[in-house]
Amino acid sequence: MLAVDRTLVSGVRDAAGRADLHRFVQLAIELEHSTVPPYLTAYYTLRPATNEGIAAAVRGVAVEEMLHLTIAANLLVALGGRPRIAAPDFVPDYPTVLPMNVGHSVVVGLAPYSRELVRDVFMRIEEPELPLHLPGGSADRAADPEFATIGEFYAALRDKLTELGDSAFVGDPTRQVVDRDWFPPDQLFPIRDVATAVTALELIAEEGEGTSSSPLDREGEPAHYYRFAELVHGRRLVTDPSVPQGFSYTGAPVPFDPEGVWPMPPDPRLEAHPPGSRSRFVAERFTDCYTRLLQALQLTFDGARGGLRPALGLMFELRLLAQDALATPDADGRPTGLCFRYCPTLRTTQGHAPVLSGPAVTPAER
């Protein structure tokens, strides 16, 4: 599981007012986003028309992490704050521990899909404090009392918001982001008071970890941890009245063809490609699109109209550019890597238009 510095949990609990919570909710936004590049990298490296069940599962988790980012950003807006997304240090420098993690926690990088990656990294990112021991699944692990967990952090945030009451929600309600084309109203809704905030935070926890008694989220789908376990075991999680837990990994097979994975070098860098090369060009195009995606998210939470449509629409473009990059060999004959970086002034060496700068971030918002 991801270990969290207990000072963050105590900081939430000691908050005297809504403004004191701004930096903690910003950290939650950064944490939810930080899982997206690793998950998208794994998804993009699955060759089209191969490993379709795996691709659907990983893509689904990545989209739900975008939902969680949006929920956390809506909460910050509701508390009178401003999400800070279009900034270079918003993007982790992979490989790294994730935001709020302590140094001994899991190190997350950008790598092509493999069962080992899912088992050793993705499942640890999503692991509940006490995972359910399901036949064919992982055994329970004892929580380390020296550190907190993500679930404990969100629980502290829910408790503090309940304590502060509805008066803490002073943000402009018209800046709440909803988008019925992407997320139904029971998943993404305006946060305007304690009740809606608590419901939204519980949704984040349940989609990632399930509940203490069930591996399913409120939509009846396996939570992220158990969805990834399906990929490791190669079987769907199904109800199973023959076992005390009521669930087991004995459903339909989830086949994996290793030949259907692009062999991308881990943790790629733009600087690894010579200026003027084809691989540098396609790598920069990918980074440019990712930058525009972050800028679109910033504009969205700053009140621009259109909801998430422009930002999530860029995810389709990002996939096409990823396929182009992965199909382009670098100087060593390997597929060009996917470089997730915020570069607002990027110009490709072959005449690609520069990215427009995102909204300015004041020092007080850093």
Residues 24-33 have pLDDT tens digits of: 999 999 999 9
**Confidence (pLDDT) at 104:** 64
Q: How far apart are CA 344 and CA 158, in angstroms?
A: 35
Candidate ranges 145-149, 150-154, 200-204; pick with highest mean pLDDT: 200-204
SS3 call for 341: coil
pLDDT for the residue 270 = 93
3-state secondary structure of 95: coil
**pLDDT tens track for 265-283:** 999 999 999 999 999 999 9
**Pairwise CA distance, residues 348 & 288, whole Å:** 9
Q: Which two tokens stand for residue 120?
A: 């050793």
Q: What pLDDT sits at residue 82?
A: 97
Residue 307, pLDDT > 80, answer: no
Q: Smallest Cα–Cα separation from 153: which of 58, 15, 301, 61? A: 15
Pairwise pLDDT comparison (340 vs 313), residue with the higher score = 340
Structural tokens at position 249: 């990994």
Whether residue 135 is preceded by a cis peptide bond, meaning omega within 30 degrees of 0, is no
Domains in the chain, start-ordered, CATH in brackets?
Answer: 3-266 (1.20.1260)
CA 57 to each of CA 2, 39, 40, 65, 350: distance values in angstroms, whole numbers, following the listed order: 21, 10, 11, 13, 36
| Higher pLDDT, residue 196 or 99 | 196
Q: Is the pLDDT of residue 136 over 90?
A: no
Q: What is the predicted pLDDT for the residue at 350?
A: 40
pTM to 2 decimals? 0.90
Supply 198's token pair: 């608590």
- H or E element at residue 156: helix 150-164
Q: What is the band of 145 on the pLDDT scale with cuts at 50, 70, 90?
A: low
pLDDT at 151: 84
Average pLDDT over residues 145-166: 89
* Cα distances (Å, whole numbers) of residue 102 to 105, 155, 230, 252, 340: 6, 19, 28, 38, 23
> In the Cβ-directed half-sphere of 258, how many Cα atoms lie within 13 Å?
4
Whether residue 328 is predicted with pLDDT greater than 60 in this model: the reply is: yes
Better pLDDT: 144 or 150 = 150
Query: Average pLDDT for residues 199-203, to the nearest whole number?
Result: 95
Dump the DSSP string for 20-88: GGHHHHHHHHHHHHHTHHHHHHHHHTBPTTSSHHHHHHHHHHHHHHHHHHHHHHHHHHHTT-----SSG
Could you give the CA distance from residue 211 to residue 45 in angstroms, rounded to a whole number? 31
Least confident of 65-79, 192-206, 300-314: 300-314
Q: pLDDT tens-digit profile of 99-118?
A: 988 656 789 999 999 999 99
